[in-house]
Amino acid sequence: MIKRVKLSKFNGELCENLYADVCYITASNFNDVANLYNRVSDALDNKNWLKSRDELYLMDVLDKGGFIIGCYVEETLVASALCEAPSGDYLDYLYELGLDDCDINSSYVSGYVMVDPIYRGNALHRILMETRIEESLLRGKDFIITAIAKENIFSLNTVLKLGFEIQFEKENEYGIKRNILTKRLVELSEEEFTA
């Protein structure tokens, strides 16, 4: 377990004595991730906001140095997210931003964020993002890049409050316009500014 957080809402109602354990997701928990995806996807108006990831994809995230975290209430996964090595479009975005190979190797892509609809309102997205930032720093990463659908105002506001900056807008293969955001995890020293 990484940490324990107190929740205040269940199915939109205030509650007491409800806690979630934030922990790493391993291959033995991949079925929990699939079940969470199904619950979240069923509640989405636009199914293209969240793309399914199968067990092979999730295993690849772990095998290539990434990590997956989740929030469990008792035995039920109620929220999850991942950080993975840049590839595909994200690799192109990082090059477009002018990052060199060293910076790209020190970057994570943050995504596949899901919160069970009955646990919304507990700031789980923020808790997962703060945890991903902390864990990325522990792994020596300097940057995080993420993409959020323009219409997904709640997620966008959450990451902006955590210091992410909108870099540009891109359209994905489903025609969804997304903001591409980055956060520098470590500050440049004066030496780096003058070098």
Render each residue's pLDDT in the chain as its tens digit; 195 residues: 999 999 999 999 999 999 999 999 999 999 999 999 999 999 887 777 788 899 999 999 999 999 999 999 999 999 999 999 999 999 999 999 999 999 999 999 999 999 999 999 999 999 999 999 999 999 999 999 999 999 889 899 999 999 999 999 999 888 889 999 999 998 644 444 334
pTM of the model: 0.91
- Beta strand extents in 136-190 (DSSP E only): 143-149, 165-171, 177-184
Amino acid at the residue 1: M
Contact 72, 95 (CB under 8 A): no
Contact 79, 68 (CB under 8 A): no
